[in-house]
A and B are shown apart, each in its own frame.
Chain A
Amino acid sequence: MVDAFLNASGREMSLKDKFFEFNWGFLLLIFAIASMGIAMLYSVAEGNFDPWASRQAVRFGIGVCVLFVVAFVDIRVWMNLAYPAYGLALALLIGVEFIGFRGMGAQRWIDLGFIQLQPSELMKITLILALARYFHGLTLDQVSRIRFLVVPALMIGVPFYLTLRQPDLGTAMLIAIVGVVLLFMAGLAWRYFIVGGLAALGAIPVAWGMLHEYQKQRVLTFLDPESDPLGSGYHILQSKIALGSGGVFGKGFMEGTQSHLNFLPEKHTDFIFTMLAEELGLVGGLTLLGLYVMVLMFGLTVGLQTRNQFGRLLAIGVTVNFFLYIFINTAMVMGLVPVVGVPLPLVSYGGTAMLTLMLGFGFLMSVYIHRNYEITRNPGAFW
């Protein structure tokens, strides 16, 4: 039946055990981050809970519920669901690509009525599950063998290609990076990364030719934002002005001129960090970054404490995904990377992102709760 060592004492965990194992400090941490986000959304609406802050709070609440449910589910269930979930996500991705939901213009959404599902978001989280599941079954020696690399390469490559075609360069890159990091953590030999890195460098000119015009424009604008301050460089420039003018202590909550006079675009979603740093200054910005670092370190610690490879890789995958969101978003608003539509996790307004994040944290917490389970390389069906 259960083909695994459960823990040192060799017994199944009860719900009560899991409840005590749950890391409440982590919950507090993401609570603090989400609160900062809700406060900023309150400020965006000129001191109103409507339309953003209240809805974001509700979503966060739902997200916390999702987190609990996912966390308390046995890690082996998730392990067994890894491939089916990946398959479902891939099917949905192909669905938007080939069946098409072209009515909405861009092909990124599937409207399920109550929520607009983004298959590429789902893809990322299920890819982590599937890769973790796959490498869980390999020995360290096997990992670096070419024939065992075909499957993960397809697992990463197919969704990468599909999201790129949507076109959603940002998510495609995230999928690739998360995949590569998991290969790295699974123990793939260094030589692959060296060769791969060189190949990537060589491919840059080719890739450039395949980019869409607006994507090229974004990159060019990023390289020289002052070249067209009223055109495409406007967003980056205004964001830097907002950040810089915030100074050390900021202009005060709800006092950001750049934000409130609308010089700052998309301030409730992609540019919310700018607004926070304008109003709360360097102090506020670093506080938020500090909270994020704590989340990341927690994720890393979970990986190091876990006694099964699936859990380790899942924890790292979720953490890296989270990290990439933070990095791309903040680096973008600071003018360090091109403008990419990536939300700031837990802070930016948006339902899908919030739910997928909380789902990810649910997995992380499930890994943490079941960290002492030792699971065989080929456990078979859990139920």
Chain B
Amino acid sequence: MLTDGTDNARFKTFSRRAAILGGAQLLVFGGLASRMYYLQVLKSSEYQMLAEENRVNMRLLAPLRGEILDRFGTVLASNRQNFRVLLIPEQTPDIEETLTKLNRVVPLSETQWKRVLRDARRSPAFLPITVSENLSWQQFAQVNIHEPDLAGIEPDVGETRHYPHGPALAHVVGYVAPVSENDLGDEDPLLKLPGFRIGKSGLERRLDRELRGAAGASHVEVNAYGRVIRELSKDPGTPGSKVVLTLDMDLQKFATERLAGEAAAAVVMDIHNGEVLASVSTPAYDPNDFNVGLSQATWNGLIENPYKPLVNKTIAGQYPPGSTFKMIVAAAAVDSGLINPNQKVHCTGKITLGNHDFHCWKRHGHGYVNMLESIMHSCDIYFYEIAKKIGIDRIEEMAHKFGLGETYEYEVPGEKPGLVPSRGWKRATTGAPWQQGETLIAGIGQGYLLTTPLQLAVMTSRLANGGKAVKPRLVRSVGDEGRFGEPAEPIGVSERALAIAREGMNLVSNHPRGTAFRARLNEPGMSLAGKTGTAQVRRITRAERESGVLTNEEVEWRRRDHALFVAYAPVEDPRYAVSVVVEHGGSGSRTAAPVARDIMRLALERDPSNRLAQAPQGPANSQIPSFQEG
């Protein structure tokens, strides 16, 4: 044997240890197999779920926003196609070159250019980037024609909000705009969708939830980098509810045109059910601009404009009611029992209280006037006198009954309450006690008093509807659900007080010496009763009074008086109330009354119940009447 016999010992050890090694290896394989059993059998369903979570991605689909219509079905806000151009970076070898080519078809701004390049660097190359939006049809068609040349460019049609009437409804319908950080409280996952827009103002904001609808979802299979491989299922979501307003777009449009060029507001209301038929605030802005994205220049123009186009003056413009408040003082006086409406007061043009003179607008006075005459002439001295007698508390109480100093849960956000001063209010805000002179000033609707055009329309409605606490409303239905106002409760004013106030307004418009006789409505079957108001915004000094008060034309615009007019129609069977405020418009009778008359004429023409024209109605009795009781 060449081997020295030791090999047997080595082989024995080797064999023994090979058995150990083999056993160990089998044990290890047993371990591996049990691990596989654990993962693939015992834990399989758990891992299957995780694998599905990996694989399936849910993408939200934006629902179609609900349309907004007027009472006759005219579209006020809708969705229109948004022609846009997308760029998919991975499909072009050179983004800059593609953009240069695209630039010849669709001019790109410097900022757009930079944004596209930045987005392309940040996001995965297969995700489309929006290059340009809201293209004209011509531009879009050109992009489509050149598409074969434009590597990575994809023409696309999206949906965007459209307001066909532009500025005419800016303050009512409002606008939508991209989601901002302020909207973070809203948990709706839709808000995280890029490019999603929500209601930011007006009814778009108030009814945003209803208009928005519910998100749809598309389940897609994605790979580890998030690229969509295929769509597995799709749920288109629920479109937003259709909203029908009480507005009459033709009336709205007419009133808007009639007030063009002024800083003004007008509200037309149904006196029985509170439906607002027109709500105009001029000037306005184009809500479409906000949706598309406002330029800095446009924005600066809006906020610097002294006519304040961004303010909805119907609810947020607060003006002294001036003489339109006299009906309230008259009603308070009648219901106080302290004043006999037929008793005459001598107006000499001024009265003196303490060492203050209180002037009538008519320098040499109206002579002896009773309550109706003083409303008709808008005599200030009469109202100073009765205000002094009945006191501020009664006036304040009556003002609240007519809805002044109140808000109405109106659907358009931003309602201001105005101000009806009281003793308590004055002490709380200034610390000083109420002065009697302030009661006198309140008697002619000046001083601390502030009202909004909507409040003036509500006040007039409550006068005309027999003292029912009607509230304004703008929404008729949301989706299939109709919205009806609550039945109006009586406000607690005597029929006699209301009748005197109404008759006073009738005289204003229909008596030849009434302050608004020139702006009366005398078409067959039509009539209105109104009240002028001229709210002073500057103090007239003693010196000016002696040298002759400057006319409105003589002072700069912002120091001129506000022109106001409130009216209801028809006189016999009232249906509508209107209020018109023209900021710094001068005289109520000359500026506001004709506008109100024209609006009311159209409202009556369009009133379905007016088609059966009533018998022509002449002007009111030219005798100065006295109020007959009973």
Contact = CB atoms under 8 A, between A and B. Distances in A.
Interface of A: 3-5, 139-141, 181, 184-187, 238, 240-248, 257-258, 260-263, 277, 281-282, 285-286, 289, 292-293, 296-297, 300, 303-304, 307-309, 312, 316, 320, 323, 327, 330-331, 334, 336, 374-377
B260 interface: no
A69 to B, nearest CB: 28
Contacts of A282: 36-37, 40-41
Interface string B36-69: 1101110110111011001100000000000000
Contacts of B4: 139, 376-377
Contact of A285 (B9, B36, B221, B223): B36
Contact of B6 (A140, A247, A258, A286): A140
A245 B46 CA distance: 8
A316 B54 contact: no
The 7 lowest CB-CB distance pairs between A and B, nearest first, are A244-B47, A245-B51, A261-B223, A262-B224, A187-B13, A139-B6, A282-B40
Given A248-B44, A375-B2, 20 more contacts: A181-B21, A185-B17, A238-B54, A241-B54, A245-B44, A245-B47, A246-B40, A248-B41, A257-B55, A261-B54, A261-B223, A262-B224, A263-B223, A282-B36, A282-B37, A300-B21, A304-B18, A316-B21, A374-B2, A376-B3
Interface residues of B, number: 44
A238 to B, nearest CB: 8
Contacts of B1: 5, 374
Nearest to A336: B35
Contact of A257 (B9, B10, B37, B51): B51
Given A297-B22, A300-B18, A309 B225 contact: no
Nearest to B7: A309
B36 A5 contact: no
B22 A300 contact: yes
A262 B225 CA distance: 8
Nearest to A249: B40
B21 A185 contact: yes
Contacts of B225: 262
Most chain B Cβ neighbours within 10 Å, of A248, A257, A262, A289: A257
Contacts of A185: 14, 17-18, 21
Most chain A Cβ neighbours within 10 Å, of B18, B51, B224, B229: B51
B9 A140 contact: yes
Nearest to A281: B40
Given A244-B46, A303-B14, A330-B32, A293 B40 contact: no
A323 B25 CA distance: 8
Interface of B: 1-4, 6-7, 9-11, 13-15, 17-18, 21-22, 25-26, 28-29, 31-33, 35-37, 39-41, 43-44, 46-48, 50-51, 54-55, 221-225, 229
Contacts of A257: 51, 54-55, 221
Contacts of A320: 21
Contact of A376 (B2, B14, B31, B223): B2
Contact of B55 (A184, A261, A323, A331): A261
Contacts of A262: 223-225
Given A245-B50, A262-B225, A187 B21 contact: no
7 contacts: A181-B21, A241-B47, A244-B39, A246-B40, A263-B54, A289-B29, A308-B7
B47 A286 contact: no
B513 to A, nearest CB: 86
Given A187-B10, A244-B48, A327 B40 contact: no
B224 to A, nearest CB: 4
B363 to A, nearest CB: 85
Nearest to B42: A244
Query: Which applies to chain A's interface (DSSP): helix, strand, loop or mixed?
Result: helix
A247 B54 contact: no
B35 A293 contact: no
A3 B13 contact: no
A268 B44 CA distance: 23
Given A281-B40, A297-B22, A309 B15 contact: no
A245 B225 CA distance: 20
Nearest to B32: A330
Contacts of B6: 139-141, 377
B3 A240 contact: no
A325 to B, nearest CB: 12
A241 B28 CA distance: 22
Contacts of A303: 14, 18
Contacts of A184: 17, 21
Given A243-B39, A297-B22, A334 B2 contact: no
A247 B44 contact: yes
A323 B18 CA distance: 14
Contacts of B223: 260-263
A26 B29 CA distance: 20
B226 to A, nearest CB: 10
Contact of B10 (A243, A248, A309): A309
B36 A334 contact: yes
B33 A286 contact: yes
Given A277-B36, A282-B40, A312 B14 contact: yes
B108 to A, nearest CB: 35
Nearest to A374: B3
A334 B39 contact: yes
A4 B40 contact: no
A110 B363 CA distance: 113
A20 B460 CA distance: 119
Nearest to B54: A263
Contacts of A336: 31-32, 35
A251 to B, nearest CB: 9
B51 A327 contact: no
Contacts of B10: 139-140, 186-187, 309
Contacts of B48: 244-245, 247
A334 B43 CA distance: 13
A171 B17 CA distance: 24
A246 B37 CA distance: 11
A362 to B, nearest CB: 21
A204 to B, nearest CB: 21
B233 to A, nearest CB: 16
B14 to A, nearest CB: 6
Contact of A286 (B31, B36, B55): B36
Contacts of B33: 286, 289
Contacts of B15: 304
B44 to A, nearest CB: 5
A239 B43 CA distance: 14
A186 B16 CA distance: 11
B32 A289 contact: yes
A323 to B, nearest CB: 6
A296 B47 contact: no
Contacts of B26: 293
A248 B21 CA distance: 30
Given A187-B14, A244-B47, A285-B36, A258 B54 contact: yes
A5 B50 contact: no
Contacts of B14: 185-187, 303-304, 309, 312
B49 to A, nearest CB: 8
Contacts of B37: 282
Contacts of A334: 32, 35-36, 39
A316 B15 CA distance: 11
Nearest to B50: A241
B38 to A, nearest CB: 9
A271 to B, nearest CB: 13
Contacts of B28: 323, 327
A152 to B, nearest CB: 15
Contacts of A242: 47, 51
A308 B10 CA distance: 10
Nearest to B13: A187
Contact of B32 (A3, A187, A327): A327
A286 B33 CA distance: 7
A247 B13 contact: no
B13 A243 contact: no
